[in-house]
Chain A
Amino acid sequence: MATDDPMLRTDGLVKEFGNFAAIDGVDIAVQPGEFRSIIGPNGAGKTTMFNLISGGLDATEGAVYFDGEDVTDLPPEERIQRGMGRSFQISNIFGGLTVRENVRLAVQSRMRDSYSFREALFKPTGRYDDINDETDEILGRIDLADIAEEEAAALPYGDKRRLEIGVVLATEPELVLFDEPTAGMGPEETQSTIDLIEEVLVEQTLILVEHDIELVMEISDMITVLNHGQVLAEGTPEEIADNQDVQDAYLGGMTE
């Protein structure tokens, strides 16, 4: 395939739950290196869209292309192996493991093919130098190195979100899907999380689902507005801000 393929493309994507079409024929194309945000009122289908892209749900119709290849029928783990990464709306980390173990499990997933059967089964994870080095580096980048030995479940909320980002980062994805990474955060924490995302994932293609419109306008390259499972509008933040349909359907009805 040609190199100017989009990083991610959906083609006539439909997801029906019974008779209700949560996603109703969505075509989007996200270019490499782009920062795309998906917004829309509650129930517009944002999270469903995310699940279709990442493999959490199977599409009723249509196709998903990642890096030029059809991944519609692949389970999530194989999409991740091809370079997708996903964070979750609610912190979705391994609560009973330490911060270091969380990151290490993610790093290890990328390297597992390089070990022999005997090593993978019997050599303690703590003795793999390559995994340890990478883990340390990521712990440094997400600024959690000094609490690396604490149990993840005991972390304060903001640190859990950082760890969540670190875990995604550790799988070295080309495309990262963020589902409301700042949900439930105060303004300061939100800013530092966004700074973190922009800092550590500057080279990656990003797709973000977010409620905070101001934030989205500030950081996105392109915005897709969903409503009733369909694309209502698509464009740069300026174009979206000026779009009358969007204001009617969404911004007008939104009082926060």
Chain B
Amino acid sequence: MYAGTIQSMLDVLSAGTASFISVQELLNGLTVGMVYVLLASGLSVIFGVMHVINFAHGELYAFGAYFAAAIVTPLGGGTGFYVALVVAPLLVGVMGVAIERFTVRPLYGRDPLYHILLTFGLVLVLNDLIKLIWGTSPRRIARPEYLTGPIEMVGMTFSRYSFFIIGFGGALALGVWALLKYTRYGLIIRAGAQDRRMVRNLGISIDRYYSLVFGMGAALAAVAGLIFTAGRGQVVPGIGFDIIISAFVIVVLGGLGSFRGAVVGGLGVGLLQESIIRPGVPDLQLPLVPENVLAPVNMVLGLLPQLEGMVIFVLMIGVLIFRPRGLFGTEFEEDSGELLTGSSGGFLTDSGRFKLGIAMIGLLALVPLGSGMLPSPLSVRLIMTMLTWGLFALALDFIMGYTGLVSLGHALFWGIGAYVSGTVLFNFTESAFVAAGVALLVGGLVAWIVGYFSIRVHGVYFAMITLAFAELFHTSLTKIDGWAVGFCETTPVCSAEAARDIQLTGGSEGLFGFSSYWGLGGVGVELEEIGIFLGPVTLTGDLLLYYIILGVVVASFFITRRMLQSPFGAVLKGIRENEQRVRFLGYDPTVYKRRAFVVSGIFATLAGVIFALNESFVSPEAAEWLKSGEVVVMVILGGMGTLFGPILGAFTFFGLEALLQEETLFGPFIWAGSLVGLGGPIEGVSATVAERWRLFLGSTFVLFVVFLPRGLVSVPELVQQRVPTRFDPTNVPADPEGGDD
């Protein structure tokens, strides 16, 4: 009887949608959507209650899948699957509790942006932990027989497992909703999401519930990871990376902190991606609407499949601009904890630091002269990378350290610098000056546009909107050539042969092997043609480029420093100290922040240009979100708001990487160990460290965020505080001229 009803309902449904979306595609969308719901609801509730943006959520999702694979493999797909469905989320839940207890908790009360930094460090740690434990070869999660294979209904075949995901995920989501809605715990958690302070004032220690919420969110992510990877594809280390950004999009669309928003957003994005955009939709034909009105609509609809992966970011940007609270989010009190900038105190005086800086530059200038003699970690290539990233970090610091805007999308500018200069060199002219000029122009323009839309939103929302812009650009990189070809074919502007040769971005491969000369209009030199002979060393090619890069970075440092001493910089410092007061002095902070963003964008673009000139190749990796995260890490590592701190941070970052990757670092230990018969194990450890350097880098970074948030530049001051007798500040003669800028 029911079967008949369902039959007729499905008939109506399929008749109604046949021309638009097929039932299979609808089911597909709901399946993916339900996985998103489980992933995003935990992320959203964690944000709602603790105001923590958890980048590590994707890694917890991956851990869920890996634990499950580890359980299912020995036990088999029958019982093993059901055991895994219970045990894996529990294990990941415990991990979540531990993460909250030992890393997130020390940061409550600080600006929420520190949580972004912390959880980004955790991403590095957890991702390498996965590789360390399970290796990099793909795994599978076997399903019970009952849940595999197709199912025949109303003359169509569906995947049984899709029904399982929708049913099980739906029941779980319903359970969480009921927990939040009807239990005492749920009440306290919901109240905490509204107003934490008020809950505390009622005598409830909400902090105790934080671990629970974090653990629950982690367990939900684990379930999502398990059921999704068991259904399609393999368990590989990158699955967390790949899905986390989509999860953020959903959380933002639904409204940060809203459970209902995560459900609607998850299903909505799933349907949009899988049922509408990927398969594409046929032209609309509405009886009452004339053809010429529908034509442009259909043209846009026809383009949708080509925009796969981009539409959600456009949506995200739109929501952040017009409705920052998302569909269901409520207004939340934005904590504006202090951003801890690097300090300039300590036992180093201004002139002392200046001399130190000059000495450093001098030392760096000598490095190429000793090339061939220096140990490999200190090679010229490494320092060129350090300098380039130092410039990138300096650019980010200009906006982050001086106006408090944490951009999670600065890879956009690095990518523009690399790609625009790359494409100019590859397609149009080999003049490095023209390439750099065009790139800087484009970078500045994009910075103005992105700044125009982004500066109006604050704090976490700013981080999210810049992330969305960068991802939009990143996704478009693999599509631009296709668009250009399409454009070429449909317009008489270019010939068919020209269309075939188009290589603006080189798709997912990127652009390889462009060369450049230093000059204009064909007049100039290639660095390989020059040779400066200095005793045993000949400066040419890369070694000359080294000096160019060093010069650019030093010049950029002095230019930005000068800007910060100008009236413009004085206002930026004022904004950092007290934005509200700046308004009541008659300055519009938005205008100044936007200008700072453009300056920052231009210098970040310059870093990207240098990268392209140095490497002679670009690939879409240049603009991925990991880059944006890494540069933030460098700024914090060195100490933000100091300009030189971030450069120091970049040197430390790559220095650590090189050292950890360099097995000879452990040479002495291996030798010492071999004397007592432990050479083998120590060698093993050194090989592991070399391979898993991100694990150690991430751990170092987490320790920095928790214990040394002002970065390396604050070390002299800390030393001074710890050793008061030797560096007694009262013994330091007051400097009447100093501290004026």
Q: Flag B710-741 by CB within 8 Å of A: 1 or 0 each.
A: 00000000000000000000000000101111
Q: How far is the CA of A138 from the CA of B205 in the complex (A)?
A: 50
For residue B573, which residues in chain A have a CB less than 8 angstroms away from its CB? Answer: 94, 96-97, 101
Considering only residues 97-154 of chain A, those with a C-beta below 8 Å from chain B are 97-98, 100-101, 104-106, 108-110, 112, 115, 119-126, 128, 131, 149, 151
Q: A75-B588, A98-B739, A167-B585 are in contact. Are A108 and B580 (CB under 8 A)?
A: no
Measured between beta carbons, the chain A residues less than 8 angstroms from B182 are none
Partner of B578, one of A81, A92, A106, A149: A92
Whether the Cβ atoms of A93 and B739 lie closer than 8 Å is no
A171 at the interface (CB under 8 A from B): yes
Select B565's contact among A76, A97, A125, beta carbons within 8 Å: A125
Using Cβ atoms and an 8 Å threshold, which residues of chain B touch A14?
A: none
Does B197 belong to the interface (CB within 8 Å)? no
Q: Is the CB of B584 closer than 8 A to any CB of chain A?
A: yes
Contact A81 B586 (CB under 8 A): yes
B568 nearest CB across to chain A (Å): 5
Is the C-beta of A54 less than 8 angstroms from some C-beta in chain B?
yes
Bound state CA distance, A131 and B569, in angstroms? 15
Q: Is A86 an interface residue (CB 8 A)?
A: yes
Query: Is B580 within 8 A of A92, CB to CB?
Result: yes
Contact B587 A77 (CB under 8 A): yes
- Residue B353 at the chain A interface, CB threshold 8 Å: no
Interface pair A106/B585, CB less than 8 Å apart: yes
Indicate whether B581 reaches chain A with its CB closer than 8 angstroms. yes
Contact check, B566 vs A122: say whether CB atoms are below 8 A apart: yes
Q: If A76-B583, A92-B578, A97-B577 touch, does A124 touch B741 (CB 8 Å cutoff)? A: yes
A43 in contact (CB, < 8 A): no
Q: Would you give the shortest CB distance from A58 to chain B, in whole angstroms?
A: 14
Q: A95 at interface (Cβ–Cβ under 8 A)?
A: yes
Residue pair A94, B578 in contact (C-beta under 8 Å) = yes
- Give chain B residues whose Cβ lies under 8 Å from the Cβ of A125: 565-567, 569-570, 741
Q: How distant is the Cα of A104 from the Cα of B740 in the complex, in angstroms?
A: 11
The answer, yes or no, to whether B500 is at the interface (CB within 8 Å) is no
- The complex places the Cα of A119 from the Cα of B568 at a distance, in Å, of 9
User: Does A23 reach chain B (CB closer than 8 Å)?
Assistant: no
> Could you tell me the distance in whole angstroms from the C-beta of A147 to the nearest C-beta in chain B?
11
Task: Look across to chain A and name the residue whose beta carbon is closest to the beta carbon of B586.
Answer: A80
| Inter-chain contact B583/A105, CB cutoff 8 Å | no
How far is the CB of B347 from the nearest CB of chain A, in Å? 18
B158 smallest CB distance to A (angstroms) = 50
Question: CB distance B578 to A108 under 8 Å?
Answer: no
| Chain A residues within an 8 Å CB radius of B589 | 77
Determine if A120 and B580 form an interchain contact, defined as CB atoms under 8 angstroms apart: no
Shortest CB distance B642–A (Å): 13
B574 with A97: CB separation less than 8 A: yes
Taking a contact as CB atoms under 8 Å apart, the answer to whether B586 and A110 are in contact is yes
Which residue of B559, B568, B577 contacts A94 across the interface (Cβ within 8 Å)? B577
Q: Given B566, B585, B588, which contacts A124 in the complex, CB threshold below 8 Å?
A: B566
B563 & A122 in contact (Cβ 8 Å cutoff): yes
Which chain B residue has the least Cβ–Cβ distance from A85?
B584
The answer, among A80, A98, A121, for a CB contact under 8 Å with B584, is: A80
User: Which residues on B sit within 8 Å (CB–CB) of A120?
Assistant: 566-568
B577 touches A109 (CB 8 A): no
Report B-chain residues with C-beta under 8 Å of the C-beta of A54. 584
Pick the contact of B562: A85, A101, A124, A167 (CB < 8 A). Answer: A124
Is B124 engaged at the interface, CB distance under 8 Å to the other chain?
A: no
Q: Contacts A77-B588, A80-B586, A98-B739 given; indicate if A123 touches B566 (C-beta within 8 A).
A: yes
- Point out which of B567, B568, B573, B581 has the most chain A C-beta atoms below 10 A from its C-beta: B567
Minimum CB distance partner of A92 in chain B: B581
**Bound Cα distance from A77 to B574, whole angstroms:** 14
Q: Mark A71-83, 1 if CB is under 8 A from B, else 0.
A: 0000111101100
Q: Report Cα–Cα, A232/B585, bound state, in Å.
A: 32
Instruction: Report the separation of the CA atoms of residues A151 and B584 in the bound assembly, to the nearest whole angstrom.
Output: 21
A96 to B584, CA, bound (A): 18
B571 contacts chain A at the CB level, 8 A cutoff: yes
Task: Give A96 to B710 CA distance when docked, in angstroms.
Answer: 15
> Are B740 and A126 in touch, CB under 8 angstroms?
yes
Quick one: which of A96, A124, A149, A151 has the most chain B CB within 10 A? A124
Query: Are the CB atoms of B562 and A77 closer together than 8 Å?
Result: no
Chain B residues with Cβ below 8 Å from A104 are 570
User: Within 8 Å CB of B582, what residues of A?
Assistant: 105
CA distance A78 to B573 in the complex (A): 20
Q: Which of chain A's residues have a CB closer than 8 A to the CB of B562? A: 122, 124
Residues of chain B contacted by A108 (CB below 8 angstroms): 567, 570-571
Expressed in whole angstroms, the minimum distance between the Cβ of B545 and any Cβ of chain A is: 28
Docked-complex contact B568 and A149, CB < 8 angstroms: no
B584 & A86 in contact (Cβ 8 Å cutoff): yes
B567 and A94 contact, CB distance less than 8 A? no
Mask of B574-602 contacts with A, CB within 8 angstroms, 1/0: 10111011111111110000000000000
Instruction: Give CA–CA (A137, B650) in the complex, Å.
Output: 44
CB nearest to B345 among chain A residues? A151
In the complex, A124→B565 CA distance in Å? Answer: 5
For residue B601, give the distance in angstroms from its CB to the closest CB of chain A. Answer: 15
Q: In the complex, which residues of chain A have a beta carbon less than 8 angstroms from the beta carbon of B739?
A: 98, 149, 151
Contact B567 A128, beta carbon cutoff 8 Å = yes
Residues of B within 8 A of A126 (CB): 565, 740-741
A98 touches B740 (CB 8 A): yes
User: Which residues of the other chain, A, contact B577 by a CB distance below 8 angstroms?
Assistant: 94-97
When C-beta atoms are compared, the residue in chain A nearest to B737 turns out to be A149
Shortest beta-carbon distance, A201 to chain B, in Å?
A: 16
Known: A122-B562, A126-B741. A101 touches B570 (CB 8 A): yes
The residue of chain A having its C-beta at the shortest distance from the C-beta of B573 within the complex is: A97
Residue among A92, A100, A101, A171 having the largest count of chain B Cβ atoms under 10 Å: A101
Chain B, Cβ-Cβ closest to A118: B566
A115 touches B581 (CB 8 A): no
Residue of A nearest to B591 (CB): A77
Q: Given contacts A97-B573, A124-B741, are A171 and B585 in contact (CB under 8 A)?
A: yes
A123 to B562, CA, bound (A): 7
> In the complex, A54 Cα to B736 Cα: how many Å?
38
Chain B hits for A149, CB < 8 A: 736, 738-740
Q: Closest Cβ of chain B: how far from A137's Cβ, in Å?
A: 18
Closest to A164 in B: B581
Known pairs A77-B586, A80-B585, A94-B578 / 20 extra A-B pairs, C-beta < 8 Å: A54-B584, A75-B583, A76-B583, A77-B585, A77-B587, A77-B589, A86-B584, A92-B581, A94-B581, A95-B577, A96-B573, A101-B570, A121-B566, A121-B568, A123-B566, A124-B562, A124-B566, A124-B741, A125-B569, A167-B585
8 contacts between A and B (CB under 8 A): A75-B588, A80-B583, A94-B577, A94-B581, A97-B574, A104-B570, A109-B585, A124-B562
Closest 10 CB pairs of A and B: A80-B586, A94-B577, A124-B565, A109-B586, A81-B586, A109-B585, A77-B588, A76-B583, A77-B583, A96-B577
